[in-house]
Amino acid sequence: MNEQNTAPVKIFSAAGRMGRLRYIAYNLLATVVFFVIYIVAAMIFGAMAGAMGVAGSPEGAMFGGGLIFVIFLVLFILALVLKFMWAVQRSHDMNTSGWLSLILLVPLAEFVFWFAPGTDGENQYGPPPPPNSAGVVVAIVLPFVLFFIFGILAAIAIPAYQGYIRAAQEAAELERQGGIEEGSPWAPQSAPRQFEPAPGGSGSSGNQ
């Protein structure tokens, strides 16, 4: 296909056309980006809560839960808007109205945009999109590689983190109950006792 007869794809617009592979790539890459932003925001809040000393308090839990929910809601709305924009472009590539994007509201109906081919050449919505570049292929493969690596790291890190949190909560509970019991792994180790001679040692036995 001659690139002079194609139109560039607009990421933040519903105008124009978008092919199948590019539609899949953009959706997968957006999922990874939003997921990373959400995780980083949660980690930043956790560090701030720990620095302020409210990580284990009910107030801190309520504030943290509300903040994380707001972040999730903003990212979800942004992802939904982008998804519908790209679905409209995918509809245009199939030479159908952008109203077809409403099938996203039906479970599994999105696969229509994954597999339905676009029209060859120019249609009523403009010239076709440019040929898929190597970046489009990388954008499809990269999320699967990242999710695989993240799954391995999560399987190692999450149990260790849960064990640390459980031990810290047990130590805090013991401290609230009036002190840490002797013999507990959290109890401070006492210094070894030094030998003290009994009163009336051998030096006084000769004075009789």
Longest dimension (CA), the chain: 125
Q: Three-state SS for 126?
A: strand
Number of helices (H) and strands (E) in the chain: give both, helices first. 4, 0
Q: What is the pLDDT of residues 29-68, one digit of tens each?
A: 998 899 888 888 877 776 766 666 555 566 666 776 777 8
Burial 108-125 (b: 16+ CB within 10 A, else e): eebebbeeeebeeeebeb
| Per-residue confidence (pLDDT) for residue 184, from 0 to 100 | 54
Count of other CB atoms within 10 angstroms of residue 154: 12
User: Which residues are 126's β-sheet partners?
Assistant: 123
Q: What are the per-10-residue average pLDDT scores of the chain (208 residues)?
A: 76 94 93 87 72 60 75 91 97 96 93 94 94 89 84 81 78 72 54 57 48
With beta carbons less than 8 A apart as the criterion, state whether 99 and 24 touch.
no
| Per-residue confidence (pLDDT) for residue 206, from 0 to 100 | 46
CA nearest to 19, candidates 81, 91, 103, 85? 91
The Cα 57–Cα 61 span in angstroms is: 6
pTM of the model: 0.67
| Per-residue confidence (pLDDT) for residue 101, from 0 to 100 | 95
